[in-house]
Amino acid sequence: MGRGLKYDIPGEDWRRSVDEIAGSGWVPLFEGDLEASAPIVVEIGFGRGEFLLELAAKHPDTGFVGVEVSFKRVLKLARRLARSGLRNVRLVEARGQVFVAQSCPRTSVDAFWINFSDPWPKDRHAGRRIFQPAFVADLARALRPGGVVHVATDDVPYALEIAGRLEAEPGLANRFAPDRFRDEVPGRIRTAYEESWLAQGRPLHFFEYEWNEKAGQQR
């Protein structure tokens, strides 16, 4: 693993595990740092983590949980987070699908952000794409009334597949309807991938789906 990778955390280590969080909910996770009623925001696949840190710095009274499958990316962000002095962010090394299914209590999350998840363009890898029906159903189940799922992708076929998956989930309602997605969202914080795709002139696709009140009553 990574020549030159630094493993020490220069301050508080905010990494937590799926198992630590599962079953106990958000309050113990942020105890001592945030009010028990603090809103909770989850970013899945944070990559370099600049988006997560900027959002967390803008909203110091909100709890942020960053989930990433890459050990190296979690370690690097844990080091940066320790130096930042932010106390409202926790990091989890896990697959987003596992985290949402096992660690997110029903009706407890105010927002999910899933920015530029890997499109896995080959047909034989289609099962690896994160936007599968079970994952989308788990997102809907975990949203609080009024909560929102934010999604971005640069990949055109993947955008159409994501649109189909989100539209098929009765627990979610499209905030951009009648558009299936938008190509820009004013005021959005840009991620590292977003900057690079914009520089290349690639089309971007943004989705915002909210907790669907009608379906939510039946859940």
Minimal distance in Å, beta carbon 178 to ligand SAM?
A: 27
Q: Does 47 bind ligand SAM (CB under 6 A)?
A: yes
> Cis ω on the peptide bond leading into residue 178 (within 30° of 0)?
yes
Residues 172-201 interacting with ligand SAM (rule: CB under 6 A): 191-194
Q: Does 70 bind ligand SAM (CB under 6 A)?
A: yes
In angstroms, the CA 83 to CA 49 distance is: 14
The alpha carbon torsion through 180, 183, 188, 192 (nearest 10 deg) reads 120
Minimal distance in Å, beta carbon 97 to ligand SAM?
A: 6
101, 133 in Cβ contact below 8 A?
no
Q: Which two tokens stand for residue 57?
A: 């710095």
Q: Which is nearer to ligand SAM, 24 or 196 (CB)?
A: 196
Q: How is 140-203 classified by DSSP, letter by letter?
A: HHHEEEEEEEEEEE--HHHHHHHHHHHHT-TTEEETTTTSS-BS--TTPPPPHHHHHHHHTT--
In angstroms, the CA 170 to CA 57 distance is: 33
Residues 198-217 interacting with ligand SAM (rule: CB under 6 A): none
Considering only 39, 63, 66, 96, the residue that binds ligand SAM (CB under 6 A) is 96
Considering only 14, 26, 46, 211, the residue that binds ligand SAM (CB under 6 A) is 46
Q: Does 44 bind ligand SAM (CB under 6 A)?
A: yes
Binding letters toward ligand SAM, positions 104-123, x by CB under 6 A: -----------xxxx-----
Q: Which residues of this protein are in contact with ligand SAM, per CB under 6 A?
A: 44-47, 67-70, 73, 95-97, 115-118, 130, 191-194
